[in-house]
Structure 1
Amino acid sequence: MTIWEPARLSGAGPRYLALADAIGAEIAAGRLAPGDRLPAQRDLARQLGVTVATVGRAYQVAARRGLLTGEVGRGTFVAPAPAAPLPATEPVLDVAAVHPPGHGQVHRAVAPILHRIAADPLAVGAEDADAVRHRIAGARWSAHAGWHPASESVEVTAGGQHALAAALAALAEPRHVVITTELTNPGLLAAARVLRVELATVPSDAAGARPDAIDRLCARRRVAALHLHPNLHNPTGLTMPAERRREIAAVAAAHELPVIEEDPFGALLPDRPPPVAAWHPRTVYLTGITKTLAPGLRIGYRYAPAALAEPLRAAARALAWAPAPLVAEVATQLVLSGAAHQLAAVRSAELAGRAALARDLLGDRVAVPGPAPFAWVRLDHDADAIAALARRRGVAVAGTDEFAARRGAAPGLRVSLSADDETVRTALRTLARLLPA
């Protein structure tokens, strides 16, 4: 047996999660083997420059993941390698991912578009002509509640994550601070970790991120940007009312703070309020069709004011250059024909029915405000333990750790409502039997 000597931690997000991830990576790489002893919590805390509580929580997370085991009086050890799993009698029901299924009506709408393109392949690839049409489609898809972005201010991206990472890279340098909520989009956590951007959090109330907390944080620290997810917030499902958006826009304007406004699910809301971009001119608004229609249609749309357009364009090109022209053309024809909005309306109605089912089965602990493609199950203790128990019962859900931008974020589970009806119904019933009374 050996005692592990860790490297320094790096990346954004909670330090205890970074340490738990580092332990997992060391085990996966074979640098930590079954039976190896880890340092005492106090010793490791001193080595890494963190608190003993941070190390203790990291060890707990790693233990819940099946990576570590503790022996009273002896220490913490890498767990024995698990035996080969028995053949599963039932498939795991995946209600962790929120991608729409991308079949049925979407396939029927896409098929004739692909036939037309196949009949005239040279119609795709005339970059100058295509770019104008694609921007027009992006502006039309983005417009809502009286807000109509100019098509020349819209760029097409290779999906929402591409747009988000490029916005983060353009507006914040390594070690710069970006504000977000305590529970936030995992894509932001991943991008911030890779780009070495620090995430600072503000609390939320029933209306969303609190403007007073944003104001105080901006007064105390030098902040590069504010990240918001006002419509069907991931993971809580909250939609921010118009008055809160105006208040936040006023705070951002007072501090000359750029805003990154994510809206991947907004088209599911028939009456969503105007975006923050309608009130604050330094807002980068991000949307797309992937999360609404089909995961294979990986196309995003980014609106930005002229002053921010060039750095955003340069960052997007460095990360993925441009979206695939064929996929962009399919998305453009769906949007300009009106089919994309019709499909979103059908999807919204489906999700509203599933939200009602989630409330019936899971009770008051579940938050499904509006046609969100997921339900947030509020808990008052360790969500990861329940997520692990659900997995053993054949249901995969997403736990708090996937969304926590700070230690101590409110515990809960995100349950996707995007799969087929039978999967959603069975998964919700299984979860209802596991949750505490």
Structure 2
Amino acid sequence: MTIWEPAGLSGTGPRYLALADAIGADIAAGRLTAGDRLPAQRELARRLGVTIATVGRAYQVAARRGLLTGEVGRGTFVAPAPAATAPATAPVLDVAAVHPPGHGPVHRAVAPILHRIAADPLAVGAEDADAVRHRIAGARWMAQAGWRPEPDQVEVTAGGQHGLAAALAALAQPRQVVVTTELTNPGLLAAARLLRIELATVPSDAAGPRPDAIDRLCARRRVAALHLHPTLHNPTGLTMPAERRREIAAVAAGHDLTVIEEDPFGALLPDRPPPVAAWHPRTVHLTGITKTLAPGLRIGYRHAPPALAEPLRAAARALAWAPAPLVAEVATQLVLGGAAHQLAAARSAELAGRAALARELLGDRVAATGPAPFAWLRLGHGADAVTTLARRRGVAVAGTDEFAVRRGAAAGLRVSLSADDATVRGALRALARLLPR
């Protein structure tokens, strides 16, 4: 069916949400039925007097709601109605989020720290010495492969997303260009939309973003910054080898380009190569403990050259002023006392075992086998349909549209390996039954 269009877009919110709601209403009313083909995005945008992007986002939202499915080259269709036995409530096996559970060994390590702080909690953060200790802890946490950042170039942030948003705000103006990969951290997508920054993409190969593509893009466009996620990349789980990092650092230096290097999962891979910051001093290196240890420990660390320190600090303060001193103190004691690295090592071993199980059950679809807290399944055409079907069978996963800068990116889905063991195993087995052999 290609002649459908909604009677009108009502409501005061974004028009793409109004369009997604209209699709759902017409399906519920029987005006759209399973298998009906919706108009092409360009055609519907022309009829409604909206942008193609508005229609595209509406279709994506409707697909996430399980209303639509689509395949490249064929079009967008109303999804089949769920079977009567399908769950009517939230999915039972939630492997969409990648936060660690934050209990067990982490709880046992944090409890005595909180007990000590409880003796005088309001004194935490009141002395300059506390801030120095927090920076020392940050420098120790991000040190790797011979790279030892100076504590006076480290700042504590209210989590990784705070550090990333502040870096974008400090380095790029609205409508300026930041380069990233075709599949990237959803936090970058959200911050770029908020700050009205344009994201341009470069293709990747097995080693990571291609240096020649970065070089060509920087030669023809004015680029504000290059965004990289070289270790346990979100969502693919791939780790960039040292030689590729050196090559990209050389390209960045040749264009006098600032690099934003995210490393939220790096502590899970202790033998990782040195960061790009080790070769390219004009790098803002971001890490933290939240994604490795526990979601309640929302603390990040940022390392940057002195020339960028003040604009980065000003942007961070405008967004969140400062991290909570109590949480920063807990993180500091975990790191300086050695518990944080021990917990990360145990977590890495656990995730490596789950990654091996994912490869055993799902085969070569799994893009990487390192200790990332997720597995990326390469699906090719039909990824939206698989994602929708998985959700209807009680498995919540994160589809391509949550990571793609624009339509046409490599299709797949991300499965969290961070949930409890029973959930992860159940979800992997359910997906193995769903996917074609």
Could you state the TM-score of these two structures normalised by the residue count of structure 1? 0.87
Q: Mark the runs of 5 or more structure 2 residues left unpaired by the alignment.
A: 33-37, 70-75
Q: Deviations over 1:199-248 (max 9, x none)?
A: 00000000000000000000111110000000000000000001100100
1:304 matched residue in structure 2: 304
1:169 pairs with 2:177:
no
Counterparts of residues 246-261 of structure 1 (less than 5 Å):
246-261=246-261
Retained in 2: the 8 A contact 1:159–1:298? yes
Question: RMSD between aligned alpha carbons?
Answer: 3.3
1:108 matched residue in structure 2: 108
1:201 matched residue in structure 2: 201
Offset of residue 369 of structure 1: 2.8
Q: Deviations over 1:339-397 (max 9, x none)?
A: 00000000000011111111111111112331111111011112121111111111111
Retained in 2: the 8 A contact 1:36–1:78? no
**In 2, distance between residues paired with 1:49 and 1:89?**
34
1:156 pairs with 2:152:
no
Retained in 2: the 8 A contact 1:67–1:78? yes
Per the alignment, in what secondary structure is the counterpart of residue 218 of structure 1? helix
The aligned length equals 419
Counterparts of residues 214-363 of structure 1 (less than 5 Å):
214-363=214-363
**In 2, distance between residues paired with 1:206 and 1:68?**
32
**In 1, distance between residues paired with 2:119 and 2:314?**
34
**In 1, distance between residues paired with 2:108 and 2:140?**
22
2:436 matched residue in structure 1: 436
Retained in 2: the 8 A contact 1:24–1:67? no
**In 2, distance between residues paired with 1:178 and 1:277?**
18
CA, structure 1 residues 25+191, in 2 after alignment: closer, same or farther (shift >3 Å)? Answer: farther
Per the alignment, in what secondary structure is the counterpart of residue 200 of structure 1? strand
**In 1, distance between residues paired with 2:196 and 2:272?**
33
Per the alignment, in what secondary structure is the counterpart of residue 271 of structure 1? coil
Offset of residue 119 of structure 1: 1.6
1:3 pairs with 2:10:
no
Per the alignment, in what secondary structure is the counterpart of residue 381 of structure 1? coil
CA, structure 1 residues 155+89, in 2 after alignment: closer, same or farther (shift >3 Å)? Answer: closer
**In 2, distance between residues paired with 1:221 and 1:113?**
50
Per the alignment, in what secondary structure is the counterpart of residue 404 of structure 1? coil
**In 1, distance between residues paired with 2:67 and 2:234?**
28
**In 2, distance between residues paired with 1:131 and 1:155?**
9
1:342 aligned partner, one-letter code: Q
2:303 aligned partner, one-letter code: Y
1:415 aligned partner, one-letter code: V
Retained in 2: the 8 A contact 1:2–1:36? no
Offset of residue 292 of structure 1: 0.4
2:93 aligned partner, one-letter code: L
Retained in 1: the 8 A contact 2:290–2:299? yes
1:4 aligned partner, one-letter code: G
Q: Mark the runs of 5 or more structure 1 residues left unpaired by the alignment.
A: 11-18, 70-75
Retained in 2: the 8 A contact 1:258–1:283? yes
1:95 aligned partner, one-letter code: V
Retained in 2: the 8 A contact 1:33–1:78? no
1:143 pairs with 2:143:
yes
Q: Deviations over 1:94-115 (max 9, x none)?
A: 1110000110000000000001
Could you state the TM-score of these two structures normalised by the residue count of structure 2? 0.87
**In 1, distance between residues paired with 2:23 and 2:102?**
36
Per the alignment, in what secondary structure is the counterpart of residue 118 of structure 2? helix
2:390 matched residue in structure 1: 390
1:133 aligned partner, one-letter code: R
Percent identity, aligned pairs only, is 83
Offset of residue 2 of structure 1: 6.3
2:324 aligned partner, one-letter code: A
CA, structure 1 residues 94+41, in 2 after alignment: closer, same or farther (shift >3 Å)? Answer: closer
Deviant stretches of 4+, over 2 Å: 1-7, 19-28, 32-51, 54-69, 76-79, 85-91, 120-123
2:342 aligned partner, one-letter code: Q
Offset of residue 281 of structure 1: 1.2
1:23 pairs with 2:23:
no
1:16 matched residue in structure 2: none
Offset of residue 41 of structure 1: 5.2
**In 2, distance between residues paired with 1:159 and 1:262?**
12
Offset of residue 126 of structure 1: 1.2
1:314 aligned partner, one-letter code: A
Offset of residue 128 of structure 1: 1.6
